Structure 1
Amino acid sequence: LSPEVVVVVNPNVLSVVDVTEGLAEDGVVIVNSPEPPEKIRETLGLKGKKARVFTVDATGIALETLKRDIPATLMLGAIIRATGLVDLEKTVEVVQEKLGAKLRGEVVEANVTALRRAYEAVKEG
C-alpha cells in the first residue's frame, strides 16, 4: 500500500502511529492541528522530503463555528484545498443536500461556513 493522501483528524495519533508509513514519495499529509506545517513536517520526519504537508486547526474552527468538537466536515474542506481533487462549490452543494435531509437549516449553514473557513485556513509547509 502506498497512500497518496493521509488525513489525520486527531493529532494525538501522530505520537502513536507512523502515519507516513508507505506514503508515496510525493504524497500529501493533512493534519488537524494549530501547529505550523513546518513543525508537523519535522515531527513526521519529512524534512527535506518531497511529500507535501498541510495543517488546519479544524478543531478550533469547529468549536468557534459549530460550538462542538466535530472537525470531520471541516477536514473535507482541508482535503479539497490541499489536493484539488474535487470542486469546493460542488462539495458544498452535496453537503447541503445530504445534511439538509437530516438537520435544521441553521445547522447545515453552520457546517458549510465551517467547511469554507477550514478550506481558507489550510497552511502548507
Structure 2
Amino acid sequence: MTRSIAPVLLLLVLSSFLVAQTDVRDNADLMVTVRTTDERSIEVPIQVELIAPRGPVATVHITGSEPAQFRVISGTSYRVKVSGLGFEAVTTSYFEINPLEQLHTETVHVKLENQKQAGESSPG
C-alpha cells in the first residue's frame, strides 16, 4: 500500500508546482509614472487609479517621481486615471498588458493648471 501512495504524492507535488508556475505567468507588474508634458516630475500627492473594462481595480497614492505599482493580469486591457492638486485630471485610453510581459510601464503626461497642452499617455 505504501508503494501506491508514493506515486500519487509525487503527482500531487508536481501538479501544485505546475499550477503555481502558471499563476505567476498570468500576472505582470504595471508601473505608472506621472510626468508633466515637459517631462518634469510633480512634487504633490497624486492619486493613480487603475481601471479595467469592468470597472475600477485599485488606487495608489504617490508623490513626485515615485511610480505607482500595480499587480495586473496579463492579456487584459486597462486604463489609468490620474488626479491631484495643481494639474488637470487625465484618464488614458485603454492599453493591453501583453501576455509575455512580466513588467509593463506607462507614463502619463499631465497638464499643469498654468500650461496649455493637453494631457496624454504613452507607453514606457
TM-score norm. by structure 2 comes to: 0.24
Pair member with larger Rg:
2
Higher strand proportion, which one?
A: 2
TM-score, with structure 1 as normaliser: 0.24
